[in-house]
A and B are shown apart, each in its own frame.
Chain A
Amino acid sequence: MAENLDQPFKESAMNNEEKRKINREQRTQVIAFAFMIGITILAFLAVGAEGVPGTFTTPFILLLAFVQLLLQLYYFMHLKDKDHGWPNSFMISGLVLAAPMIVALIMLLGVVKY
C-alpha cells in the first residue's frame, strides 16, 4: 500500500458532483480574473487617454478599485464560499469601524481645522 504512494493515481478520487463543482469554481476564477484585468485596463485607459478630464478619472478609478477589492476578497480569497461567515463578519465590522474614522479624520484634519 504505502510503497505505491509515489505512483500517480489512475483515476481521480473525486466523484462526478465534486468534479463539476471544481470545474465551476475554476470557471468563475478565470472569469473573475479576466474581468479584473479588464477593469485594470480601463483604469489605465482613463488615465492615459486624452480627453478624459481629471475630475472624472479620480472617482472612476476609486470606484474600479473598490470593485477590484470586492472581487479579490470574495472570488479570489473565497469569502463568498460557505462557512466564511465569521471572516466575513470580521471584515465587514472592520470596514464599518474604519470608514467613519477615516471620513472623520479627513474632515477634522483637512477641512474644519488644523
Chain B
Amino acid sequence: MVSEATNTRKKSVLWDWLTTVDHKKIAILYLIAGTLFFVKAGLMAVLFRIQLIAPEMEFISGQTFNELVTMHGTIMLFLAATPLIFAFANFAIPLQIGARDVAFPFVNALGFWLFLSGGILLSISWFFGGAPDAGWTSYVPLASREFGGLGIDFYVLGLQISGFGTLISGINFIVTIINMRAPGMTMMRLPLFCWTMLVTSMLIVFAFTPLAAGLALLMLDRIFDAQFFIPGEGGNVVLWQHIFWIFGHPEVYILVMPAFGIISEVVPAFSKKRLFGYTSMVFAVLIIGFLSFMVWLHHMFTVGVGPIANSVFAIATMTIAVPTGIKIFNWLFTMWGGKIKFTTAMHFGASFVPTFVLGGVTGVMLAMAPVDHLYHDTYFVVAHFHYIIVGGIVLGLLAGLFYWYPKMFGHKLNETLGIIFFWIFYIGFHLTFFVQHILGLIGMPRRVYTYLEGQGMDTMNFISSVGAFLMSVAIIILVINIIYSALKAERITEKDPWDARTLEWATSTPVAEYNFAQTPQVRSLDPVFYEKIHGNGEMKPAEPLDEIHMPNGSILPFIMGVGMFIAGFGFISFHMDLFISPYVIIAIGGITFFGAMAARSLQNDHGYHIDKETVESMEKELS
C-alpha cells in the first residue's frame, strides 16, 4: 500500500478542509456556509423591514428594495435552507444507517464546492451593477434582457452551478440510503430522517432537472438572444411560470420534508416513546412527495388557465393536507403520554407542530382558487409561506442543530441560552408574520417598497418590523451561545448524551473517521434503544474487527468548483465591458473544470487502509 504513507503525514488545517471527502467534515462545511448565507439573507430582510417600518420611509430606494427582496428569497431557499439540510443529511445519514461514509465521497465534496461557487457567483453580483431584481421567481418578461439588468445573469448562472451541486448530492443520498445500510437495517427500520431524505433526494432529482432546463432556456434567451420567453417573437412567458413552479412547488417539500424527519427524530427521543405510527409516517412522506409534483398550478391561479385546470389543481393541493394531517397527529400521539424532557431541541420540536399547522391552514385557504384571486400577491401569501418556511423548516433545522450538536462538535450548546434564544425567536417570528396575514387581508400588496399613511397598515407594519428585530436579537444570542459553548462547555465523550434511540448515538464522540469500527447488526427500529432494553446497551457487531478501507482526500472537487465559477462568470461577461474577451474566461474555466475531471479519471486512487492495530488503539482512546 503506497498511499498509506501519504495519510500518516500531518496535513495543515486549511489543506485538510479543502481536500476533505469525509462526510462529517463536509457536513460542517455545509453548516458554516449555510449559516453565513442565512445570516446574510436575514440581514437583507432586516434592511427592508426597516424600510417598511413606517409609511413613505426613504431608507432605501425602490430598486435596492427589489434587489434585497429578490436576494433574500433566492439566498434563503437555495443557499441557506438547502445547504443546512444537506449539512444534517450529510452528517446523520451515514451514521443512522450504520455506514462508513456516503456512497460517493468524492462526489459529495464536489457537490459542496459547486454549491459554494454558485452561491459566491450569485453574491458578487453586487459589484457588477446590482443584484438580480426580478423576484426570487425571476418571472419573464421582468427577467428578460429587455427589462432585467445584468443581475439576472448572475441569478441564472449562479443557480445553475449550485443546482448541479444539489443534484449530484441528491443522487448521492439516494444511492447511500439504498445501498449502504447496515445488516438488518431494512427499509422499514430506516430512521424517519433517512426516509424523508430519501424522498427529498428523489424530489431533488425530479424537480431540479426542470429548473436546470428552465434556467438553461432563460440563459439562452438572455445571453444568446433566443426567444423562448419573448412573446413578441413567438415565445411564451407563461411557459417560464409553468417550468419554474414545476420545480418550485416540490422545492417547498424538498425543504420541509427533512424538517419533518428531524422532528420525527427529536420528538420520540425527548418523549421517551417510539414514534407513533411509523409505517403511516413513511407512507405519508411518500404520498406528500408524489402530490407535491401535481399541484404546481396553484401558484398560477390568477394567470387565467381556465376553471377546469384551476379546480383540478385546487383539489390536488388540498389533498396534501391529508397526509400532512396524519403526520401532525402522529407527532401529537408520540408526545401524548410520553415522559417529555423539555430541552431546547424539544422546545423547537414541540413548537414546530402548532406553527406548521397554522401555515398549513392558510395553505388550504390559498388553495381555494376563487378566493386566491383576492389573496394573490398580498402579504397574506407572504405570511403563509413564512409560517411554513420559518415556522416549519427553520424551527426543524434549529431543533436538529441543538440535537446533533454534541455529536458533531463534542460538546452541547448551552441549554439556558438555548431556551432564551428559542423564546425570543419564537415570539419575534409570530410578531413578524402573524400580523402580515391581516395586512394581506386588508390589501397590502407584496413586493412594494412603501405604502401610504392612514390606510390602517402603519401599526401592523411597525409590529412586523419589531418582530424582525427580535428575531435578529435571537440569532445574535444563538451566535453568542455557539461561541460561549465552544469556549466554556465541557467536552463530552459519552456516546449518547440525550439517551436517544437511533444508530448515530452508538458511535463514539467525537466520531472516528471510519464511523463504526465494526458495522453494527440492526435488530429493530430504534436500534440503540432496543439494545438498551434487550441487550447490554452496545450494538452487536455484524463483522469481525478488521482493517478499514477509506477514500483519500482530493483537491480536485475544489478546483472543479473554481473552474465552474470562472466559466459561469465568463458567460455573464458577454454583456459586460471587461478588458478580456468572455471566450477567454470561459476557456480558462472550462479547461480548469475539464482538466480536473480528466485528472480524476486518469489517476488511480484506491484510497488507503487503516490497519487493525490503529483501529483498536483509536477505539480504546475514544471510549
Residues of A within 8 A of B (CB): 86, 90, 93-94, 96-98, 100-101, 104-105, 107-109, 112-114
Nearest opposing residue in chain B for A96, CB measure: B290
Asked if residues A105 and B242 are in contact (CB atoms below 8 Å), the reply is yes
Asked if residues B306 and A112 are in contact (CB atoms below 8 Å), the reply is yes
Give me 28 A-to-B residue pairs in the complex whose CB atoms sit less than 8 angstroms apart, sorted by A's number: A86-B178, A90-B202, A90-B205, A94-B206, A96-B290, A97-B206, A97-B293, A98-B206, A100-B294, A101-B246, A101-B293, A104-B297, A104-B309, A105-B242, A107-B309, A108-B242, A108-B297, A108-B305, A109-B236, A109-B238, A109-B239, A109-B242, A112-B306, A112-B308, A112-B309, A113-B306, A114-B236, A114-B238
| Closest CB in chain B relative to A52 CB, distance in Å | 32
List residues of B (510-536) whose CB comes within 8 Å of A's CBs.
Answer: none
Measured CA separation A93–B293 after assembly (Å): 11
Please judge, given known A-B contacts A101-B293, A113-B304, whether A108 and B236 are in contact too, CB under 8 Å. Answer: no
16 additional A-B pairs beyond A113-B304, A113-B306, beta carbons within 8 Å, are: A86-B178, A93-B202, A93-B206, A97-B206, A98-B206, A100-B294, A101-B246, A104-B297, A105-B242, A108-B297, A108-B305, A109-B236, A109-B238, A109-B239, A113-B305, A114-B236
Total residue contacts A-B, CB cutoff 8 A: 38
Nearest opposing residue in chain A for B309, CB measure: A108
| Closest CB in chain B relative to A45 CB, distance in Å | 34
Measured CA separation A59–B202 after assembly (Å): 32
Measured CA separation A113–B308 after assembly (Å): 12
Contacts of B294 in A (CB 8 A): 100
Digit string of B221-250 for contact with A (CB within 8 Å is 1, else 0)?
Answer: 000000000000000101100100010000
Nearest opposing residue in chain B for A108, CB measure: B305
Nearest opposing residue in chain A for B286, CB measure: A93
Nearest opposing residue in chain B for A112, CB measure: B306
| Closest CB in chain A relative to B39 CB, distance in Å | 35
| Closest CB in chain B relative to A96 CB, distance in Å | 8
Measured CA separation A101–B238 after assembly (Å): 15
Measured CA separation A98–B247 after assembly (Å): 12
Nearest opposing residue in chain A for B243, CB measure: A105
List residues of B (278-302) whose CB comes within 8 Å of A's CBs.
Answer: 290, 293-294, 297
Contacts of A109 in B (CB 8 A): 236, 238-239, 242
Measured CA separation A94–B207 after assembly (Å): 10
Contacts of B306 in A (CB 8 A): 108, 112-113
Nearest opposing residue in chain A for B242, CB measure: A105
Measured CA separation A114–B206 after assembly (Å): 26
Measured CA separation A108–B310 after assembly (Å): 11
| Closest CB in chain B relative to A83 CB, distance in Å | 11
Contacts of A114 in B (CB 8 A): 236, 238
Contacts of A104 in B (CB 8 A): 297, 309
Nearest opposing residue in chain B for A87, CB measure: B178
Contacts of A98 in B (CB 8 A): 206
Contacts of A101 in B (CB 8 A): 246, 293
Contacts of B206 in A (CB 8 A): 93-94, 97-98
Contacts of B178 in A (CB 8 A): 86
Measured CA separation A113–B246 after assembly (Å): 18
| Closest CB in chain B relative to A89 CB, distance in Å | 10
Contacts of B246 in A (CB 8 A): 101
Measured CA separation A108–B312 after assembly (Å): 12
List residues of B (312-335) whose CB comes within 8 Å of A's CBs.
Answer: none
List residues of B (436-473) whose CB comes within 8 Å of A's CBs.
Answer: none
Contacts of A100 in B (CB 8 A): 294
Measured CA separation A105–B238 after assembly (Å): 10
Contacts of B297 in A (CB 8 A): 104, 108
Asked if residues A97 and B290 are in contact (CB atoms below 8 Å), the reply is yes
Measured CA separation A114–B239 after assembly (Å): 9
Contacts of B309 in A (CB 8 A): 104, 107-108, 112
Measured CA separation A105–B293 after assembly (Å): 13
Contacts of A112 in B (CB 8 A): 305-306, 308-309
| Closest CB in chain A relative to B285 CB, distance in Å | 14
Measured CA separation A98–B206 after assembly (Å): 9
Measured CA separation A97–B174 after assembly (Å): 18
| Closest CB in chain A relative to B315 CB, distance in Å | 14
Measured CA separation A100–B297 after assembly (Å): 13
Measured CA separation A114–B292 after assembly (Å): 24
Measured CA separation A98–B242 after assembly (Å): 13
Contacts of B236 in A (CB 8 A): 109, 114
Measured CA separation A113–B305 after assembly (Å): 6
Measured CA separation A22–B325 after assembly (Å): 52
Measured CA separation A114–B242 after assembly (Å): 12
List residues of B (231-275) whose CB comes within 8 Å of A's CBs.
Answer: 236, 238-239, 242, 246
- The 10 A-B pairs at the shortest CB distance, nearest first, are namely A112-B306, A97-B293, A108-B305, A86-B178, A97-B206, A105-B242, A108-B309, A113-B305, A112-B305, A113-B306
Measured CA separation A86–B187 after assembly (Å): 12
Contacts of B308 in A (CB 8 A): 112
Measured CA separation A90–B297 after assembly (Å): 24
Measured CA separation A105–B313 after assembly (Å): 13
Measured CA separation A100–B316 after assembly (Å): 13
Contacts of A90 in B (CB 8 A): 174, 202, 205
Digit string of B160-190 for contact with A (CB within 8 Å is 1, else 0)?
Answer: 0000000000000010001000000000000
Measured CA separation A104–B308 after assembly (Å): 11
Contacts of A94 in B (CB 8 A): 206
